[in-house]
Amino acid sequence: MEKLVIEGGRPLRGTVRVNGAKNAVLPLLAATLLSEGRCVLRNVPDLFDVRTLLDILREVGLTADWRGPGTVVTRVERHDCSVARYELVSKMRASIYVLGPLLARRGFARVSLPGGCAFGLRPVDLHLKGLRALGAEIGLDHGDIVARAPGGRLRGARVFLGGPMGSSVGATANTLMAACLADGKSVIEGAACEPEIDELAHFLNRMGATIEGIGTPRLVITGVPALGGAAAHVVPDRIEAGTFAIAAGLLPGSDVRIEDLRVDHLSAVFDKLAEAGVEVTVEDDSAVRVRRTGELRPVHVATLPYPAYPTDCQAQLVSMLSLARGISVVTEKIYPDRFHHLAELNRMGADVQKEGPSAIIRGVDRLSGCDVEASDLRAAAALVIAGMAAEGKTTVHKLHHLDRGYERFEERLQALGASIERQGKQAAAARTAA
């Protein structure tokens, strides 16, 4: 199996460019199921999750091809299959994004309950609530979600999609895509306001949809008979940008320029870094400079829906705060069980305890390198950056989690001065194939 071997203690210096956002490109790709024309997506990151979704799209009748680095072209060629198989869907939770488009375009969809990262229960009830509101008949059969639109068409409706942990990005995306081809007007109250939803809505409008209220928790959609082709440039990945910023903040002496990002998408992350004593200088709307010169200070933070601090940057922040002077508290209000990385950090010498939905972090003087295992995508990134700050050698196992959301992560860290190397039988083959 592949692993990353890291020699800690080297500050990061230089410039890194942010790739297109995983959490934006996946719903954009799913939305191309609705199109009757050719769709072109640019700035597409080459990730395991992207390739998995492309495989699913091909099985349900699309041509989906890479046209040079970062560009994917899709077109619907046939409608004879509306089944997303367990063997593919089980690899990532975002496969659920094909449910709404298949149902709206073809009147029927059979999608296996999704898999993905293992950090607690993440039900799809709000996805199903939104589609049921549009008239879908939905049941569960042998582990598959089976959905039908009576008469072959969904109908416009009003639905509230707020949940116990706040708005749902996935449920908003699925309901929004389905409503574009429904008869009549739909209103989504309690819609997610994440930048990735804004990008999806603008893309759908370019395809011919009529969506109002973009960027607000109230989306109004007037259904249309059909959607055409369109193009999109995938928005920069705010979580990847946040990961690099936190990595720079963790390592004393680091000085990293992060470019091709959206500064306005990262206000909460940069605010907490500054509170912890990390110098963040905004150079323009698409570039920041992150420097660590002094000691880290403890902070208190809670993850909440956008524009608050993102859950996908929680694990990385815990790694950084493990070396802060004092006690920090990180409360997880999106996925309260998303703390599997704590045990691995404690193996490295951190002092972190879980109390309910919170991590209580008592800063230590140093971390010590050792063998650790990633439990999910962001935990993998958190362990990598912790290893870069630890004394001695750290080996991070189960890299398939990391590769789901970061393209050539270790190579880009190497370019910033990190001592990090991918080892294992598959490493050379994977690089050759890419």
Q: What is the pLDDT of residues 54-101, one digit of tens each?
A: 999 999 999 999 999 999 999 999 999 999 988 888 888 788 999 999
* pLDDT score recorded for residue 113: 86
This prediction's pTM: 0.95
Tokens standing for residue 380 = 């993998």
Out of 233, 257, 281, pick the residue that ends a domain.
233
Instruction: State residue 427's pLDDT score.
Output: 53
Q: Is residue 257 domain-shared with residue 178, that is, in the same domain?
A: no
Q: Count up the domains in the chain and report the number.
A: 2
Exposed/middle/buried for 375, CB within 10 Å: 0-12, 13-18, 19+? buried
Banded model confidence at residue 434, pLDDT cuts 50, 70, 90: very low
DSSP character at residue 114: P
Query: Is 297 found in the same domain as 192?
Result: no
Q: How far apart are CA 429 and CA 407, in angstroms?
A: 16
Which of 166, 199, 233 is at the close of a domain? 233
Is 180 catalytic? The answer is no
Q: Are residues 202 and 290 in the same domain?
A: no
pLDDT tens for 118-164 read 434 447 899 999 999 999 999 999 889 999 999 999 999 999 999 88
117, 180, 193, 370: the catalytic one is: 117
Q: What is the CATH number of the domain that holds 372?
A: 3.65.10.10
| Location of structure tokens 């819609």 | 191
What is the pLDDT, as a whole number, of residue 93?
A: 79
pLDDT digits (tens, 9 = 90+) for 393-404: 999 999 999 999
Residues 84, 152: Cα–Cα separation, whole Å? 19
> What domain range includes position 289?
3-19+236-433
Q: Identify whether the C-beta of residue 43 lies closer than 8 Å to the C-beta of residue 69.
A: no
Verify that 219 and 300 share a domain, yes or no. Answer: no
Residue pair 310/268 in contact (Cβ under 8 Å)? The answer is yes
Question: Both tokens of residue 88?
Answer: 């593919």
The reported pLDDT for the residue numbered 117 is 42
CA 58 to chain centre: 22
* 199, 214, 233 - which closes a domain: 233
Provide the pLDDT for residue 432.
40
pLDDT at 180 over 90: yes
